[in-house]
Structure 1
Amino acid sequence: MGTAALAGVDGGSVGEVRVVPTDGGVQIDADVENLEPGFYGFHVHQVGECEAESAAPDDPSDTGAFLSAGSHIPGEGGADHPGHAGDLPTLLVNEDGSGSMTVITDRLDESLLMDDDGSAIMIHADPDNFANIPERYASEGPDEDTTATGDAGDRLACGVIEAP
């Protein structure tokens, strides 16, 4: 189906993601490098644009790193995080700055990923909490930021999924 060359805000290479159709969904293979060790939010965003300094498609006054990629690909019926089709497991980067992950998901398909405006793979600066905020910490439940993004933080690296 396609590949995405991941680049950081400075334009440096961060790795590559391959997206391959499978029975009933897609397989996503990520190989990353040149990152600090730790856990990172890892998502598929709904617009295939990775401009390092850009405006959000739904709010041109909101500017920042890779905002041109829009939000996570939504789930059915406008689901909250972690029910978005574009929500993926957290990416682990090893002490040497490299990481690999393979995920098979039935939430995504070619029609979502390769639509008219394409899609992008995003690595966020912080781990994703998957909107898992225990009631003892937030008696009202997770706030709007958490249900929208999983508190994964700034956008650290981005790659547009390109057809072969």
Structure 2
Amino acid sequence: MSRTIRTPRTPLRRPRRAQQLIAVAAGGLLVLSACSDDSDDSSADTDTAASDSTDTAASGDALATAAVANADGDELGTATITDIDGETSELSVEFSGLEPGMYGMHLHAVGTCEPDSVAPDDDSDDPETGDFLSAGGHLGSDDHDHPDHGGDLPALLVIENGEGTLSVTTDRISEDDLLDDDGSAIIIHEDADNYGNIPERYAEDGPDEDTLSTGDAGGRQACGVFE
């Protein structure tokens, strides 16, 4: 009887080219995985940094806050001054109910907001009266001309819906300035502030005393005492 001899099958082998492609693909997956991990770590670091920054800003100590109203007593909003690092502070304002436009806005040296009042330093026989003159001049006006007073600020832009917001960092004021014996106030004026900029083509002698004092920002339409 004859027997059939079966030859053991040789295991199939992938061609060398296929093995190389598989190796390359595997390496690519490892690289992508590593990049993904790095990206996740970077994103997490960025999120953490942003969160820390927000927490730091939010944790600042409020030095003073003012409720701002017009001469009729209508409340328009608030102004808050927050300490940042002991040397600089942030002023944030939020107003509504104003006419659209650009208005001068300053910190004033006396914390008294009285309609139809007299300036505290006006001792003349016939003193001028006007809304919120009781708040005196700009904070820090004894040492500098406008716009370098401690209380000088960027203009307030009120948009069409009557709202105006502003946030500015300053190193010109301190808690002692704001809350000294006679206090301080924030004033929204009726006109824009020219910041003492009077070109020679308009005035050969430059800005006059009124311009260097107030920036020609006009009357006072709103006031708030810092507390």
TM-score band, normalised by shorter chain = over 0.9
1:123 maps to: 188
Q: Could you say which structure has the greater relative contact order, defined with CA pairs below 8 angstroms and 6 or more residues apart?
A: 1
TM-score, scaled relative to structure 1: 0.95
Aligned residues, how many? 161
Kindly indicate which of the two structures has a greater share of residues assigned to helix. Answer: 2
TM-score, scaled relative to structure 2: 0.69
**Residue from 35, 40, 61 that aligns with 2:98:** 35
Q: Return the offset for 1:104.
A: 0.7
Map 1:1-164 to 2 at 5 A: 1-23=63-85, 24-60=87-123, 61-75=127-141, 78-162=143-227
Structure 2 residue ranges without an equivalent (≥5):
1-62
Secondary structure of 1:59's counterpart equals coil
- In structure 2, C-alpha distance between the alignment counterparts of 1:106 and 1:134, rounded to whole Å: 28
Q: Give the 4+ runs in structure 1 shifted more than 3 A.
A: none
- 8 Å Cα contact 2:64/2:178 also seen in 1: no
- In structure 2, C-alpha distance between the alignment counterparts of 1:8 and 1:120, rounded to whole Å: 13
Kindly indicate which of the two structures has a greater share of residues assigned to strand. Answer: 1
After superposition, the CA RMSD in angstroms is 1.0
- In structure 2, C-alpha distance between the alignment counterparts of 1:149 and 1:81, rounded to whole Å: 7
Secondary structure of 1:78's counterpart equals coil
Structure 1 residue ranges without an equivalent (≥5):
none
- In structure 2, C-alpha distance between the alignment counterparts of 1:150 and 1:124, rounded to whole Å: 10
